[in-house]
Amino acid sequence: MTEPVEAGAHTPHEAALSLGKVVNFSWENLTYRVPVEDDDGNTTYKTLLYNLSGTAVGGRVLAIMGPSGAGKTTLLGAITGKLYNAKAKMEGCCFLNSTIYSQRYKKLVSYVSQDDIVMGKETPREAIRFSCRVRLGLSSEESERIVDEVIARLHLTSCQNTILGIPGILKGVSGGERKRANVGTELATNPCVMLLDEPTTGLDSVNALRVGQMLRELAKRDMRTVIATVHSPSSELFDVFDDLLLLAKGHVIYHGPTADAVAYFATLGYQVPPRTNPSEYFMNVLQLPEEEVSQLWLAWEDYVTSAAANNNTCLMVVQGPITHQDKFLESQLKVKGSSYAVQFVELGKRAFRMFRRDPGAFVGRSLQTLFFAVFMGLFFFNLKLNQQGVQDRAGALYITLMNNCLGRVCMVFLPILPSEPCSCRSRPTTPTTRLCTSLPSMSPRSPSRCCFQPYLISSRTS
C-alpha cells in the first residue's frame, strides 16, 4: 500500500482534474418531513430535519457528525436529491455559489454512498475507467489520462490491477483501498462538490485516517468542496476536517471551524477534559437526555441571531438567497456526456469481463439451459402434422418465450444481482437506462441458448 503524498505534490496530468475556481455549496431553511401512518390509518408527518442552514466552503472539508438518527444521511440525501420518498415534504433551497441548485446542476455534485457501488471482480483501474467512459464524452486517450491521474491522486498505483473483491466472499484489495476506489469512480467526473456518506465506516483507525487525508488533499489541491458524514472519528482524523457540523434530532448544535468547537462548547458549560478525544466528548454530549440536547440547539439558534455572532469567525450560515447565474457553473455544464452507443459498448465489455472471471456461473447457466432444452425437446418429441400438433407447437413456443422472458428471475446463478441494487441506489434509473444496462449483461448467456434451444425445433414429424 502506498503512503499518502504531500498535498503540494503534483501528478503528471494534474490539469485533467483542475477546477480553476472555488465553488461553495450551501443550504438555507432546509426542512424535511416524512409521512407516518398510525394504527388507525391516519397519516401524520414526522420532521427529520428542522430548518437547517449551512455552508460548505471550497477547498475545505466539512464533517457532519451526530449520533445514529441525528439526520446526517438524510441531510446529504436532501441537499443532493437522493431521497426518493414521493410523499415526503421538503422545504428550503440549496445554492452552488450564488446559483440556486437544481437538477440542471446535478452533474456538478457527486455523491458517494456508504455502500460500495463498485463490482467485486473489477480492478480499481477498470472501475474508474468504466465510470469515466460511460459518463464523459471523451476519447479513449483522454479517458486513460484521467484514469491515470485519479489513480495517482488516490494512491491506488500499487493495487490498480488487483481485483476489488467482495468482503467475506472474495479476497481482493484492502478496505481502505476499496473505499478509495469507490471515491475514484466519482472523482473521475471532476465534480465541483463531493459528498460522501460515512466513507470511514468499517475501517481501522489507520485506513480511516488515510481516507480522511485523501479527502483533505482533494479539497486543498483543486479548491474542491468536500462534505463527509462521520460517526466517531479518532482524534487524528477529527483534526483532518476543517469545518464541523454537529446534528442532533435533526437540529444544528454547532456549525463552524473544527478548531473553534471546543471553545464554543466551553461557553455552554461543556468543557472537554484534558487528553480526551473532542469528537467522542461531543458525541456523548449529543446523546444526553432530550431536554438537555434541546437546550443546545436553542443555544445555537440564539448564538446565530445574536449581534456577537455576526462578527465571529465561528459562524457559518447562508447570508440570504442570491439567484443569479454563475458563469463558471454554466461553463462546467457544457462538458458533454457519452453517447448511448458508447455506454452500451462499455456495459457489454464489462458484462463479458465479469463472465470471463466467473466461469462457474457461465457453466451453471449453460447446464440449466441444456437441461431445459433437452426436457422440452423430449416432451414435445415426434409431434404429428395435425391440429393437435399445431396446438402443441404453439404451447412449446409459448413456454420457450416465457422461459426467455422470465429466465433472469428463475436463474440458479445470479452473481450480478448483488451489484444491481447498488447501482439503483447510486443514481435514479429510467426504463431506457435499465434496458441498456440489462441487454449487455444478458449477452454472455446468449451462446448457451443459441446452442441448445434450437433442439426444440428439431423434433421429428410424421
Q: Give span(s): CATH 3.40.50.300, the chain.
A: 14-333
The per-residue DSSP string of 87-148 comes to T-EEEEEEEETTEE--GGGGGGEEEE-SS--S-TTS-HHHHHHHHHHHHS---HHHHHHHHH
CA distances to 32, 59, 192, 341, 394 from 15, rounded to whole Å, are: 39, 17, 14, 28, 63
Residue 18 banded pLDDT, cuts 50, 70, 90: low
- Rounded to 5°, angle at Cα 226 from 21 and 332: 40
Residue 313 is predicted with a pLDDT of 47
Q: Average pLDDT, whole number, for the chain?
A: 78
Residue 456 banded pLDDT, cuts 50, 70, 90: very low
Instruction: Give 238: exposed, middle or buried? Use CB within 10 Å, 0-12, 13-18, 19+.
Output: buried
Question: Highest-confidence range of 137-146, 315-324, 381-390, by mean pLDDT?
Answer: 137-146
pLDDT digits (tens, 9 = 90+) for 103-150: 788 888 888 887 777 888 889 999 999 988 888 888 888 889 999 999
Q: How many other C-beta atoms can be found within 10 angstroms of the C-beta atom of residue 220?
A: 16
The answer to whether the CB of 243 falls within 8 A of the CB of 258 is yes
| Cell 438555507, residue located | 28
Residue 15 is predicted with a pLDDT of 52
First to last CA, the chain: 70
Question: Highest-confidence range of 56-60, 165-169, 309-313, by mean pLDDT?
Answer: 56-60
Q: What is the mean pLDDT of residues 220-246?
A: 91
Mention the CATH class of domain 14-333: alpha beta
Residue 298's Cβ-side half-sphere holds a number of Cα atoms within 13 Å equal to 6
Residue (of 190, 191, 188, 192) closest to 148 by Cα position = 188
The answer to whether the CB of 443 falls within 8 A of the CB of 345 is no
Q: How many other C-beta atoms can be found within 10 angstroms of the C-beta atom of residue 431?
A: 7
The answer to whether the CB of 181 falls within 8 A of the CB of 40 is no
Residue 402 is predicted with a pLDDT of 75
For the cut 70, the answer to whether the pLDDT of residue 441 exceeds it is no
The C-alpha R_g of the chain, in whole angstroms, comes to 27
The answer to whether the CB of 235 falls within 8 A of the CB of 33 is no
Residue (of 153, 161, 204, 199) closest to 2 by Cα position = 153
The answer to whether the CB of 217 falls within 8 A of the CB of 262 is no
For residue 378, how far is the Cα from the chain centroid? 49
- Name the 3-class secondary structure at 201: coil
Residue (of 177, 191, 262, 201) closest to 223 by Cα position = 191
* All cell numbers assigned to 187: 472523482
Positive/negative CA dihedral, 184, 239, 229, 166: positive
Greater model confidence, 183 or 381:
183
- The percentage of the chain sitting over the pLDDT mark of 90, rounded to a whole number, equals 20
Q: What is the mean pLDDT of residues 78-85?
A: 78
Question: Highest-confidence range of 218-232, 352-366, 427-441, by mean pLDDT?
Answer: 218-232
pLDDT digits (tens, 9 = 90+) for 257-307: 999 999 999 999 999 998 889 999 999 999 988 888 899 999 998 888 874
Q: How many other C-beta atoms can be found within 10 angstroms of the C-beta atom of residue 384?
A: 11
The answer to whether the CB of 71 falls within 8 A of the CB of 286 is no
Positive/negative CA dihedral, 205, 176, 217, 427: negative
Q: How far apart are CA 146 and CA 125, in angstroms?
A: 11
